Amino acid sequence: MLLNWLSNHGSAVISLVNYIPVVATVVTCVFSLVLARATLRYVEATDKGLALAREEFEREWSPELHIKLRRVSASDAEIVVTNLAKAAVLLQVLQLRSLTTSAPYEKSVLNDPLIGGMAWTNSVGERLIRITGSEFEGKVDASITFFAAGRMFRSDWFRFNVMVRNGRILNVDAISVPARRVRVVHGHEEIEEVEVAT
């Protein structure tokens, strides 16, 4: 009976057997397209992850200092420099300047290491009075030049409102945070700007 059925329907069976490789090829192509699209999505996700990891690494290891000027007493103020990065730096020059008077910059040569995450403080009361005078109400800027990873950098200018009366420091308030983190310095010229903070 089976032989009879095969002899009667043999051409249909042969045609069906001939279509199996064609169907298998179509199914394989569809699966290949699905896998290729999944692979492209995976590559895009991996690229985004690598970009985020690179950005995080650069933020953690690129030098970034924060400067704070604060009043300690009527005759003294101190500067606090905080290293926000993981890498250690070597502080070289502290600069103070008054924007409202024609007094020259007040520069202090330093040679103090500052480990990542730590803060460095120094008394600047006398220097502040020198650039402001005994009667002053206006803006004072502070900046630090430092070595990190074999290169010299300079922080942007951090600005403060300062009030001095009769040679006594009455008030010191921060009024701005710089938009740029640090600049690479060679000699006295700025040549390269490190990425802008967000």
In a domain, 38, yes or no: yes
CATH of residue 91: 2.60.40.3970
In a domain, 20, yes or no: yes
In a domain, 185, yes or no: yes
- The answer to whether 143 and 110 are in contact (CB under 8 A) is no
Q: Are residues 32 and 95 in the same domain?
A: no
For the record, the structure tokens of 15 come out as 């045609």
In a domain, 41, yes or no: yes
Please tell me the predicted confidence (pLDDT) of residue 163: 92
Please tell me the predicted confidence (pLDDT) of residue 188: 47
- The answer to whether 120 and 144 are in contact (CB under 8 A) is no
Q: Are residues 90 and 158 in the same domain?
A: yes
* Partner residues linked to 143 by β-bridges: 95
- Which residues make Cβ contacts (< 8 Å) with residue 80, sequence separation at least 6? 67, 68, 69, 70, 119, 120, 121
Please tell me the predicted confidence (pLDDT) of residue 47: 94
**What's the total number of domains in the chain?**
2
Q: Consecutive sets of 10 residues in the chain, 198 residues long: mean pLDDT of each?
A: 69 79 91 94 94 85 87 91 90 90 84 92 91 90 90 90 92 75 56 40
The DSSP element (H or E) to which 103 belongs, if any, is: none
Q: Are residues 35 and 75 in the same domain?
A: no
Q: Are residues 100 and 17 in the same domain?
A: no
Task: Report the amino acid identity of residue 183.
Answer: R
Instruction: Quote the domain boundaries for residue 34.
Output: 1-61
In a domain, 154, yes or no: yes
